[in-house]
Amino acid sequence: MTAALAGCGGPGGSGDVTLKLVAADYGDSAANSSKKYWNRLVTAYEGEHPGVRVDVSVYSWNDVDREVRQMVDRGEAPDLAQIGAYADHAAAGDLYRASDLLSIPVQADFVPELSRAGEVNRVQYGMPFAASTRLLFYNKKLFAEAGISRPPTTWKQLAADARALKDAGVKTPYALPLGPEEAQAETLQWLLSGGGGYTDSIGNYDLDSVENFATFGWLRDELVGKGLTGPVPPARLNRADAFAAFARGEVGMLDGHPTLMKTARAKGLDFGMVPMPGNGDGSGSGDGGGGGRASLGVADWMMAFRQNGHREQIGDFLDFVYSEKNVLAFSREYDLLPVTASASADMASSPKDADLAPFLEQLPGAELYPVSKTSWASVSADLKKRIGTAVSEQGSPAAVLGQLQRAATREDTAG
């Protein structure tokens, strides 16, 4: 899906320049496609800044990172890319530093946790564009019909609730999307709730930790193996399909981000949201009092390629993109969290954004992907392909996580 959007850039640029931007689509239909957001933004920019044209190409999340990689490999890098990972491009020397582009007030306005996550060797190359955290969504009607009085806070309770939902005829008690669209998110949220994660305390990959083995063993044995994750095998279930099924009332529970609220409400669904359950005592047994309840944070990134020059024009355009007004407009359009402190403060104090408050509260302590590692793009792609097999009937979490760890180590060493 491609949109050629004409915009103009003025101060800081001279002559006629065309900036090419590749962006991800945050919409779930043509009616709210991101190309409409970019069309409005670029049109507004055009009215104030003569001299620069901005051509925006919008692709689905399934395709956008690959499209940018192929463009770079062909020697046809865009001026700007708004995608999922930046560090491999930074390590190759392809990107401008954020400080080369942005005015000091704009760069200083980024949420500190996100700004630091955009650094490679303490230099910021990745500019956060959108952020989200995760909560457990549950269908209140299905819970009531299954006799469940409150949402779970531990794995043991989640499994018991899933069993009750299945006994009540719910098609998918817990949706576990480990398909290729966004398996890295569902995986990390579960690893964190089990006391593990993708990396250890000093930042080395730690995919094959004892905690991670226990987490995926529990998922295989207590959810998937007992038929509590629905008719589609987790390895083939994508997030978008899981969200759509939840909005249709076919799913009892799932791990969701803020955009699911709008989709569910549009279908008239009565739902609740709580922090993701923890594994209790940290043993992976599901007993105990809800320990290991760390939240996943996700940030998507804007980056600027050096190949075509245009540094001044890119910087001027990005200052406009990251104005408080535009950051809030995007965040509210797609129910995402602002990436700047000024927009976050506005959202936190605004009654109309009250639904996003639980997600916003999670952000300061959330754990993000290891996006500053140049190997992350490759590791993430590998994980999307393989991780779902770890919970299949004959799957071996130890074998799959071991393979992923070895591959991640090779990529990290090579990088």
Angle, vertex CA 85, rays to CA 84 and CA 89, nearest 5: 140
In terms of CATH, what superfamily is 133-296+373-414? Answer: Periplasmic binding protein-like II (3.40.190.10)
Q: State how far the Cα of 187 lies from the Cα of 382, in Å rounded to an integer.
A: 13
Supply the pLDDT for residue 415: 64
The rounded radius of gyration (Å) of the Cα atoms in the chain is 21
pLDDT in tens, the chain (415 residues): 343 343 333 333 445 889 999 999 988 778 888 999 999 999 999 878 888 899 999 999 889 989 999 999 999 999 999 998 898 899 899 999 999 999 999 999 999 989 999 998 899 999 999 999 999 999 999 999 999 999 999 999 999 999 999 999 999 999 999 999 889 999 999 999 999 999 998 889 999 999 999 999 999 999 999 999 999 999 999 999 999 999 999 999 999 998 899 889 999 999 999 999 998 744 444 443 444 557 899 999 999 999 999 999 999 999 999 999 999 999 999 889 999 999 999 999 999 899 898 999 888 888 999 988 888 888 999 999 999 999 998 899 999 999 999 999 999 888 6
The three-state secondary structure class of 77 is coil
What pLDDT sits at residue 39?
Answer: 93
> For the domain 2-125+298-364, what is the CATH code?
3.40.190.10
Separation CA 232–CA 78 (nearest Å): 38
Q: Cβ distance 98 to 111 under 8 Å?
A: no
Q: What is the pLDDT of residue 303?
A: 97
pLDDT of residue 374: 86
Tokens 């925006």 found at = 56
The dihedrals phi and psi of 119, each to the nearest 5 degrees, come to -100, 145
What pLDDT score was predicted for residue 345?
93
CA dist 340 and 338 (Å) reads 6
* Structure token digits, residue 400: 């799959």
Sketch the domain layout of the chain as residue ranges.
2-125+298-364, 133-296+373-414
Q: Which two tokens stand for residue 128?
A: 């956060």
Question: Model-level pTM?
Answer: 0.81
The owner of tokens 């919008």 is 58
- Tell me, yes or no, if the two domains 2-125+298-364 and 133-296+373-414 fold the same way: yes
pLDDT at 8: 37
pLDDT of 365 reads: 81
Choose among 353, 42, 312, 237: nearest CA to 246.
237
Is-contact 13 7, C-beta < 8 A? no
The pLDDT value recorded for residue 97 is: 97
Tell me what pLDDT residue 316 has: 96
Tokens of 403: 């393979």
Among 143, 151, 95, 155, which residue's Cα sits nearest to residue 119?
95
Please say whether the beta carbons of 118 and 301 come within 8 A: yes
pLDDT for res 413: 87
